[in-house]
Amino acid sequence: MRKMVEILDAKTREKLCFLDKVEPQATIAEIKNLFTKTQGKSLKDEDVLQKLPVGTTATLFFRDLGAQISWVTVFLTEYAGPLFIYLLFYFRVPFIYGHKYDFTSSRHTVVHLACICHSSHYVKRLLETLFVHRFSHGTMPLRNIFKNCTYYWGFAAWMAYYINHPLYTPPTYGAQQVKLALTIFVICQLGNFSIHMALRDLRPAGSKTRKIPYPTKNPFTWLFLLVSCPNYTYEVGSWIGFAIMTQCVPVALFSLVGFTQMTIWAKGKHRSYLKEFRDYPPLRMPIIPFLL
């Protein structure tokens, strides 16, 4: 005999769903699937009621996502922190390295170049947040800002402490290593900015339409021929260049953690492209050409 299953909210004890004709041998996993099906699919803000597969009566479910904060606010907070924190170490404000080093300047040219590169990177990110990026989602959970800021601010302080330390030693291969790394950094920063501009042009202001990104006349966008998320490819390249320039272990770890996270994001976007667009270019990989 089939069973009837009532599902309640664990906190409020409010009735969420009533499943009838459930087989007695059904597992909890199967019941979860039945419950998910009754909830329907997530709807976008731009979905039109008339085009939804409903009859004369439409049943909509509201999900409380908790406290939210705008993406713009999150990005500005995330990026302003590392910019400010790094400069505190660069200028060697009191109580960091000892009184005899307060407000002194490093004698190594690479330290000054590193500060310029790090600062320009985050200034670029702040300006892109204000004038370039167009967000498909207006908000994100408030709790995420604490997690993200811990990551960005913490790594910025760790890197800056060692790079600006009075006992810091320049890279092993001297000026040649610094020049090579600086070239990599600048090229990747230009590439990252070019991809962001290309993605911006795909979405008109106020729209949430999605299109397949293709290369433009800008050579930096030609990476779209091989990867779905070249902005992440260039971003990783920038930090690899910065790690080579400074020859600093915290920078290398930051690059590795960033690459891991961006690979996860890139794979997710790649899957979305494949699911949404049947004619999506088959040669593209998520983040690294021909590999990953």
- Could you tell me which residues come within 8 angstroms of residue 208 by beta carbon, excluding any fewer than 6 positions away? 44, 45, 46, 136
Over residues 122-168, the pLDDT tens digits come to 999 999 999 998 776 667 777 888 888 999 999 999 999 999 999 99
What's the pLDDT band for 281 if we cut at 50, 70, 90? Answer: very high
Over residues 92-107, the pLDDT tens digits come to 999 999 999 999 999 9
Phi, psi (degrees; rounded to nearest 5) at 134: -125, 120
Candidate ranges 2-16, 141-155, 162-176, 204-218; pick with highest mean pLDDT: 162-176
Over residues 15-30, the pLDDT tens digits come to 666 666 677 777 777 7
CA 162 to chain CA centroid, nearest Å: 26
Measure the CA–CA gap between 91 and 147, rounded to whole angstroms.
27
Please determine, for residue 275, whether its predicted confidence score (pLDDT) is greater than 80. Answer: yes
Please determine, for residue 255, whether its predicted confidence score (pLDDT) is greater than 70. Answer: yes
- The reported pLDDT for the residue numbered 133 is 82
Q: Work out whether the CA dihedral 201, 206, 209, 210 comes out positive or negative.
A: positive
Mean residue pLDDT of the chain comes to: 87
Cα 28 to Cα 5, 8, 12, 36, 276: the distances in Å are 11, 15, 21, 12, 31
Measure the CA–CA gap between 261 and 267, rounded to whole angstroms.
10
% of the chain surpassing 90 pLDDT: 64
- The reported pLDDT for the residue numbered 157 is 97
CA nearest neighbour of 226 among 130, 146, 133, 291? 291
- The reported pLDDT for the residue numbered 95 is 92
C-beta atoms surrounding 232 within 10 Å: 23
Amino acid of residue 34: L
For 69, how many CA atoms within 13 A lie in the half-sphere containing its CB?
14
- The reported pLDDT for the residue numbered 206 is 64
DSSP characters over the chain: --EEEEEE-TTT--EEEEEEEE-TT--HHHHHHHHHHHH-----TT--GGGSS--SS---------SEEEHHHHHHHHHHHHHHHHHHHHTT-TTSS-GGGTT---S-HHHHHHHHHHHHHHHHHHHHHHHT---SSSEEETHHHHHHHHHHHHHHHHHHHHHT-TT----TTHHHHHHHHHHHHHHHHHHHHHHHHHHHHHS-TT----------SSGGGGGGGTBS-HHHHHHHHHHHHHHHHHT-HHHHHHHHHHHHHHHHHHHHHHHHHHHH-TT--TT-BSSSTTT-
Over residues 174-187, the pLDDT tens digits come to 999 999 999 999 99
- The reported pLDDT for the residue numbered 18 is 65
For 33, how many CA atoms within 13 A lie in the half-sphere containing its CB?
6
Please determine, for residue 260, whether its predicted confidence score (pLDDT) is greater than 70. Answer: yes
- The reported pLDDT for the residue numbered 247 is 97
Amino acid of residue 231: N
- The reported pLDDT for the residue numbered 202 is 87
Are 101 and 166 spatial neighbours (Cβ–Cβ below 8 Å)? Answer: yes
Over residues 34-67, the pLDDT tens digits come to 666 666 566 555 566 556 555 555 555 556 555 6
- The reported pLDDT for the residue numbered 56 is 56
Structure tokens at 204: 């008109």
